[in-house]
Structure 1
Amino acid sequence: MSYYQCEAWQIEGEDSEHDSSLCPVFSIEIFASIACHHSTTIQRLFLPQDQLTQASTSWSAISSKLSQMGVPFTLHATVMQKIIECARSAMSETHNKKRKNIPIIVTLGPARSPSEDEEAARGASKGAIGSLKNVEVEGNMRVEQCVICLEEIVDGVEASQMPCSHVYHQECILSWLEKSNLCPLCRFQMPT
């Protein structure tokens, strides 16, 4: 039997382009790496904040997305619990009180990670690399250096941000992701 780990966390950033004028929403991106699929699938959904913090009203929407991704039904409750815990924590933070869109990242994958040789041989897909967010580094971002080249990332420089929120020099992370699909800091897995 395979064991899976699930993590959920809020990422910082501006409200996204989603029209949330009707009610505040959580924009949830789910990255699932299921052993039988040999790849990472991604789904995105928007759920009203008042619904997500009440498990019963959001279960069907999230369960439906997980089923579309091929996530076994036995894992749905674990994923749902992590998402709701993250949502409740985000709602309690002062800086989120007036936000219309709170982005959450969810990862689900095997608890036993592949060997170093397997990881080194797999680069991220071109689509995943192309979807990296370009950000202008500012003093409030708390980015001091690129851990790939170990050089300082100076204010005003345009850098690339991974879905896990870690920031790198653009050329450094592009080169890295051609060889490995893992974030150099937290080992977040990009689609291959």
Structure 2
Amino acid sequence: MSDDFETCCHAWDVDWEAPEDESFPCATFSINIQARFTSVSVDDDDHEEEEDHEPCFTEPESVVFEKTEEVSVDRLMNENDNVSTVRDMLVSMDVPVHDFMVDKILACAHRMATAQRYRTRKVLRMRVEIEAVVDELPDHDDDDEVEEYESEESETAALVAEMLRKVVVDRPNSCCTICLEDFLVGSEATSMPCSHVFHHHCILPWLCKKKLCPLCRSWLF
């Protein structure tokens, strides 16, 4: 396996509230997990008879899957259940689970559950990003999963659109930093809560996948 690719995991809190949070019956973690699977194989066809040769790595292939899990704060703080709960989340996405992944997610959960600013929250949002190096890419092409993903994608797009606002460009020589094309003075553009401005057709697909500003990296939600 190439040294350029390694398995890693990052987890952090997302400080955002939604109006519907109060409808939750108990304090709940909403954990958004994005897993990128990368497969890099070695091509030895041209070196079968050579004893000393450097391995030839093929072009890496990657797929990304994303889902949101909801689990009660009490359950994730319960030392008898928390490890198996996190492992089950990752296994359901075909992530090859490592102890350090579980440790990072639980450490983030503990920080959030004990933080003063989250003490009165009904929903505690966490973002988890995983890079997994695998021998074979997982197959998530089941029709039901595709339909569920498309439904979630549509809901995400609608939620993202609600948090953006239209503005009129009044400054010359400014451009959209996604497509790098200049804005036309007097034309409509889209502003994020952080006040950075982009073309609507550029920023909407970006936010549906990344959910953060491409410039300042502030989270939309």
Q: TM-score, normalised by structure 2?
A: 0.54
CA deviations on 1:54-73 (whole Å, 9 max, x unpaired) are 34312233222211212113
Would the alpha carbon gap of residues 168 and 41 (structure 1) be closer, same or farther in structure 2, given more than 3 Å must change? farther
Alignment-mate amino acid for residue 66 of structure 1? L
Match of 2:50 in 1: none
Paired residues of 2:157 and 2:204 also in contact (CA < 8 A)? no
Alignment-mate amino acid for residue 51 of structure 1? R
Match of 2:15 in 1: 12
Corresponding position: 1:38 with 2:62: yes
State, as a whole percentage, how many aligned pairs show the same letter.
22
Greater shift, 91-100 or 102-111, is seen at 102-111
For residue 147 of structure 1, report the CA deviation from its aligned partner: 8.7
Would the alpha carbon gap of residues 33 and 132 (structure 1) be closer, same or farther in structure 2, given more than 3 Å must change? farther
Paired residues of 1:29 and 1:104 also in contact (CA < 8 A)? yes
Unaligned runs of 5+ in 2: 40-60, 134-149, 166-174, 184-188
What SS class does the counterpart of residue 41 from structure 1 fall into?
strand
- Equivalent of residue 79 in structure 1, options 97, 101, 107: 101
Paired residues of 1:34 and 1:110 also in contact (CA < 8 A)? yes
- Equivalent of residue 104 in structure 1, options 116, 119, 126: 126
Match of 1:148 in 2: 177
- Equivalent of residue 61 in structure 1, options 85, 104, 119: 85
Distance 2:17 2:87 in 1: 27
Distance 1:39 1:167 in 2: 32
Would the alpha carbon gap of residues 40 and 98 (structure 1) be closer, same or farther in structure 2, given more than 3 Å must change? same
Match of 1:70 in 2: 94
Paired residues of 1:15 and 1:99 also in contact (CA < 8 A)? no
Paired residues of 1:135 and 1:159 also in contact (CA < 8 A)? no
Match of 1:175 in 2: 202
Unaligned runs of 5+ in 1: 112-125, 138-145, 152-156
For residue 176 of structure 1, report the CA deviation from its aligned partner: 5.4
Would the alpha carbon gap of residues 56 and 187 (structure 1) be closer, same or farther in structure 2, given more than 3 Å must change? farther
Distance 2:118 2:81 in 1: 22
Would the alpha carbon gap of residues 33 and 55 (structure 1) be closer, same or farther in structure 2, given more than 3 Å must change? farther
Instruction: Could you list the structure 1 runs, at least 4 aligned residues long, displaced by more than 3 angstroms after superposition.
Output: 15-19, 126-129, 146-149, 157-161, 166-170, 176-179, 185-188
Matches within 5 A, 1:110-121: none
Distance 1:7 1:186 in 2: 19
Match of 1:121 in 2: none
- Equivalent of residue 93 in structure 1, options 90, 111, 115: 115
CA deviations on 1:11-49 (whole Å, 9 max, x unpaired) are 11114636422x201110110001137211112111111
Alignment-mate amino acid for residue 100 of structure 2? T
Q: Which has the larger radius of gyration?
A: 2
What SS class does the counterpart of residue 108 from structure 1 fall into?
strand
Provide the aligned length of Structure 1 versus Structure 2: 154
Q: TM-score, normalised by structure 1?
A: 0.60
Indicate the RMSD between aligned Cα atoms, in angstroms: 4.1
